[in-house]
Amino acid sequence: MIHRISAEDLILQRSASQLDDSCSIASSFTLQDRVEAIQQSSEEFHEMVKKEMREKGVDRSQAMDLVRLQRLIDVCDTKENTALYLLQDWNYEPQVCRFLRLLSSSGVNLKDVVDFLHNTPLHIAATKNFISLSKLLIDSYPCMLMAINGQGEMPVETAIRHSQDDVAAFLIRRMDHRRVRNLFKAKKERNAAISLVKLTEEFGMQKTIVALLDCLVSPRWPHPPCLPSDIVPCLSWEHLQDKPTHFHVTYDILESDVNGRFPDDPDYEYTPKSFYYNLTKHFQQNLNKEILNHVVIKLLTKRKWEKYAAFWFRVRFFNYVVFLAVLSASFMSAATSDDPLDYKSSPGRRTTEILVTLMTLWFIADEISELKREPLAYAKDVFNYLDLSGYFLIAATFVFRYLGSDAQWILGSLAIIINFCGIFKYSVGDRYIGLYIKCLGMVIYKDIPRFLVVFTIILVAFSISFFTALKAGDFNLGSALGSEYSLCKEDVGCVMLAGLKTWLEGSSVVRSLSTAGWLGAILAIFFMLSVVIILLNVLIAQLSLTYEMVQEESLLSFSVLRMQSVATIEWQSRFKYWNLRKKYYVPGEIKSREEVEEMMKQYRESTNPTSPRDDEK
């Protein structure tokens, strides 16, 4: 069923306070007047349409627009008031564009149409997120792009203030790069018109962020570009290429504080949560490829990593390796001694236990600091619980040791395993190792749980049926499963354990088919066929396929982890007299054309992947 748009649907409904506003054009006539102006069911309307078609030689749809527009003009008194009414109260953008195009062709200068707040048509279009209308206005009136309203705002500022992402990104792309960057820069005593830090706190205007990042890459030539010969004679320039040889990548805006001041400004606020920090925080929940793979973000991350983040990251890694070495030496020394509390026979063990205790308290304090910094993100990360459990297991081991309980060895064993697993979080220090671990982790996360579900169903069904089948022939469970299960008399758990070993070792589930009876032998053969031949081979094939599929996703996750490491190190150096972001700050860098073009090629491939069929075409 086709839904037809009624006349009432084209009217933007207003509240009572808005209808009573004496400053609004709409207050001069009622809603019924507006509906009658565009009603097309009366005979009079159709007669006027036919008349327009005969006199002006236009098609029916254009004639209907002309009649409707004339009715609106009759209600609004003037064409300028009609244009303003359409901008403020009409909520069907295609019709607004058609009517305004007709008004413009009839002699109405739309750049002179303003409301009581001196908002231009482009300001109003930005408020309502009308992209097609914005394009129409900019193409017809380019100066409207830089027009200022009564609040001193340009249309792009109005769009950002109203969180209209589509129009804001469109307007930024139509503006000069230098003017866009000036919007995010503080000028002397005046703060920036738009705070990039606040813009990225909610992370709702992602298209605007991408458009802004595009403005931070500017071409550079070793000579002035060749101009037309009727302006300036080219002379020897005509033999030079007009392609830029270098690109200037701007970083200053990305390093600004909440007021738009750069780190070299005396009034710079030493805020720990910068634009880069906010991006990293949101990337943990939403992997936006356009922003994450953008040339500016990748170059900025690379510079931060090489200048200072890599060094401090290696320091943290070396500190953790020392912690694991001391922990292992302490627990091994306690396990080889007759009395773990006898420190006289092994005086070095007291020192290692003191070091382990101090380093464990240091890591717990670091985890508490992370929790205070981002409580919600910290609670959602399961690896944080793994780290905390490892530290608390160490503390519990020492407590039970002084209580003389043998539980210390169980807790100590778990503490060693969990804390050694924690070293994988430092894999971002090496690109290849980090990517390998991320791929491996995603493969295990995606495929192993599905395999275990199917395997568990088959294992439970086989165990119960096999256990029941042995009762039919009065066979012994221990002799059927093997000598290691000789103590099993009437326990189905032994059958499940034997089935599990079949998966892990690839061995037979029974010692001999003759000891299980004919039904038990058939069940054992079907179980071996299902697990060893079918399920395991399917799992191997699925793991290989998943490994190929998750490589791109793993690369993105690895990039996010590296950015997170950089942001964490910057946050830890957030003090006024020790601030790595301020110490290594540069306004921008010059990059070669080849390097930028290669990164842009990778960027286009990642954001707009082509299918194999497209490549063949």
The model's pLDDT over 186-205, given as tens digits with 9 standing for 90+, comes to 887 888 888 888 888 888 88
pLDDT, averaged across the chain: 79
pLDDT, tens only, 408-424? 899 999 999 999 988 88
What is the spatial distance between Cα 52 and Cα 55, in angstroms, rounded to a whole number? 5
pLDDT of residue 13: 41
pLDDT, tens only, 52-66? 777 777 778 878 878
Q: What integer is the mean pLDDT of 207-230?
A: 75
pLDDT of residue 473: 62
pLDDT, tens only, 579-592? 888 888 899 999 88
> How far, in Å, are 78, 381, 396 from residue 354 at the CA level?
87, 30, 15
The DSSP H or E segment spanning 476 is none
Tokens 């290692």 found at: 352
- Any bridge partners for residue 247, and if so which? 219, 591
Proportion of the chain above pLDDT 70, given as a percent: 82
Give the length of the chain: 617
Cβ contacts of 187-192, under 8 Å, gap ≥ 24:
191/259, 191/260, 191/261, 192/256, 192/259, 192/260, 192/261
This prediction's pTM: 0.76
Tokens 């006027």 found at: 48
Q: What is the DSSP letter of 183?
A: H
pLDDT at position 42 over 70: no
Closest C-alpha among 373, 392, 383, 481 to residue 427: 383
* Strands of 29-157, DSSP E: none
pLDDT, tens only, 226-256? 554 444 443 344 444 567 788 889 999 998 8
The DSSP H or E segment spanning 310 is helix 310-336
348 versus 491: the higher-pLDDT residue is 348
What's the token pair of residue 425? Answer: 């979080």
What is the spatial distance between Cα 213 and Cα 295, in angstroms, rounded to a whole number? 8
Q: For residue 421, count other CB atoms closer than 10 A to its CB.
A: 13
What is the spatial distance between Cα 361 and Cα 357, in angstroms, rounded to a whole number? 6
Tokens 């510079």 found at: 303
Tokens 């069907």 found at: 92
Domain ranges across the chain = 322-429, 442-575
Residue 122 pLDDT class (50, 70, 90 cuts): very high
pLDDT, tens only, 507-519? 677 766 666 677 7
pLDDT of residue 514: 64
Q: For residue 295, count other CB atoms closer than 10 A to its CB.
A: 22
Q: How far does the chain reach from its first CA to its final CA, in angstroms?
A: 39
Q: What is the DSSP letter of 343?
A: -
Residue 336 pLDDT class (50, 70, 90 cuts): confident
Q: What integer is the mean pLDDT of 494-498?
A: 77
Lowest mean pLDDT among 356-365, 390-399, 461-470: 461-470
Q: For residue 55, count other CB atoms closer than 10 A to its CB.
A: 9
The DSSP H or E segment spanning 589 is strand 588-592
Residue 49 pLDDT class (50, 70, 90 cuts): confident
pLDDT of residue 226: 53
Strand order in the sheet with 246-250: 217-220, 246-250, 588-592
> How far, in Å, are 262, 266, 273, 576 from residue 270 at the CA level?
10, 11, 9, 6
Q: What integer is the mean pLDDT of 96-119?
A: 86
Cβ–Cβ < 8 Å for 287, 556 = yes
**Three-class SS state of 284:** coil
pLDDT of residue 296: 92
pLDDT of residue 549: 73
Cβ–Cβ < 8 Å for 161, 202 = no
pLDDT of residue 513: 66
β 246-250/588-592 pair status: antiparallel
pLDDT at position 362 over 80: yes
What is the spatial distance between Cα 86 and Cα 66, in angstroms, rounded to a whole number? 14
Residue 615 pLDDT class (50, 70, 90 cuts): very low
pLDDT at position 32 over 80: no
> How far, in Å, are 370, 502, 604 from residue 508 at the CA level?
50, 6, 53
Q: What integer is the mean pLDDT of 345-363?
A: 88
Rounded to a whole number of angstroms, the CA Rg of the chain reads: 36
Residue 9 pLDDT class (50, 70, 90 cuts): very low
Q: What integer is the mean pLDDT of 375-395?
A: 88
pLDDT at position 529 over 90: no
516 versus 323: the higher-pLDDT residue is 323
Cβ–Cβ < 8 Å for 251, 300 = yes
DSSP line for 114-133: --TT---HHHHHHHHT-HHH
pLDDT of residue 34: 55
Lowest mean pLDDT among 179-193, 234-248, 314-328, 514-528: 234-248
> How far, in Å, are 52, 80, 140, 239, 400 from residue 105 at the CA level?
16, 13, 11, 46, 89
Q: What integer is the mean pLDDT of 543-570?
A: 79
> How far, in Å, are 94, 480, 482, 483 from residue 486 at the CA level?
82, 9, 7, 5
**Three-class SS state of 572:** helix
What's the token pair of residue 538? Answer: 């399917």
pLDDT, tens only, 134-148? 999 999 888 999 999
Q: For residue 360, count other CB atoms closer than 10 A to its CB.
A: 21
Residue 14 pLDDT class (50, 70, 90 cuts): very low
Proportion of the chain above pLDDT 90, given as a percent: 18
What's the token pair of residue 280? Answer: 């990293």
What is the spatial distance between Cα 132 and Cα 50, in angstroms, rounded to a whole number? 29
